[in-house]
Amino acid sequence: MSILQPCAAEKFGIVGKSSSDPNFVVTFQGCDDVARRNGDECELIQNPGPANVHLQAEALREALQSGRFDALAVSVTSSREIEQVLESATIPVITFDSPLKTSKDGKHRIYVGIDNFEFGRSLAKMAKRHVPRGGRICLMTAAHDPNLEQRVAGIRRELSNDPAYPTGTPLDGQGGWTEDPRCPWNTGDQIDRALLQTRITLSTMDVDVLLSVGHWPVVEALRYRQAIQAFEDRLIRGDTYVIVGVGNIDPEMQRLLDDRLVHGYVGIDFRAMGQSSYQAMRDSLDGVTLPWIISTTTTSVAANR
């Protein structure tokens, strides 16, 4: 009589753009919560500091070569570099938060996350809510990230009222909106740089809306308050509106909204993204056929007018 052995635990890795980014820490926690309930384990692959294409590629390469993981999920910083690393992958690898662009051979990898183009459109709709007749806008992003490029494209198409508005072309009056020539700001995924760019925008640039496609200005809410202290009246009056794409909206971020120091958020549930990423990795390992895109949700919250 044979004795059935319990299934061996599987180990899954989360490769964020940076392991210091709180959104990817939350993604890992969501992954690990569900994994442990199923007898598995998730690990946050370490690549600390500001997001860096080369450091992420090296962290991914080491994880693949270590033999410690049964499947991986990666938030893509650079499609070209990450695709090169994945050419030698012998385990399932999905993407989350930021997808790969279609590779040169036309292949796709499963993507778990939001529709980044629609995320950009949601940010733009919030700008239109506050400035319905259009105006001057400054965008804030980080160069090269595929998901952020999609968000910027969504913003421009929504504001221009042109579903075919060309990617990479700043607005110059289309739909009543014009981008300041100093923008988009490239934060380099660095909070210090984003706060400096925010101060420059509020102190020297005549814009109606500062719109950040990522959380950099407000992720440390106290530092944001300090950075914009001299411009609080301008923000409270609505002379300039600040709209930010964030992860989960924490209490300090909500207080910025309540105090009208920020005028709107579009938020992403990174914990749910981590949970879905675990399930996609587990299913991929088990040979389950999955759709190319597994969607997660966003939430829009605006300040009272």
Residue pLDDT, tens place only, 221-257: 999 999 999 999 999 999 999 999 999 999 999 999 9
Predicted pLDDT of residue 8: 61
CA atoms of 193 and 50, how far apart (whole Å): 11
pLDDT score at 6: 41
The domain ranges of the chain are 11-114+269-297, 116-268
- Residue 9's pLDDT is what? 81
- Do 11-114+269-297 and 116-268 agree at the fold level? yes
Report mean pLDDT in 10-residue bins for the chain, 305 residues.
52 97 97 97 96 96 96 95 93 95 66 96 97 97 91 98 95 98 96 98 97 97 97 97 96 96 97 97 95 93 80
Instruction: Output the pLDDT for position 1.
Output: 35
Residue 3, pLDDT score: 39
Spatial separation of the C-alpha atoms in residues 109 and 258, rounded to whole Å: 40
Two structure tokens written together for 208? 């109606």
Amino acid symbol at 1: M
CATH, domain range 116-268: 3.40.50.2300
236-274 burial, b at 16+ Cβ within 10 Å, e below that, comes to eeeebbbbbbbbbbeeebeebbeebbbbbbbbbbbbbbb
The domain 11-114+269-297 is placed in CATH, from the list 3.40.47.10, 3.30.420.130, 3.40.50.150, 3.40.50.2300, at 3.40.50.2300
Helices (H), 38-132: 53-66, 79-86, 116-130
Rounded to whole angstroms, how far apart are CA atoms 213 and 140?
Answer: 6
Percent of the chain with pLDDT strictly greater than 90: 90
d(CA 118, CA 124): 10
| pTM of the shown model | 0.91
pLDDT for res 107 = 57
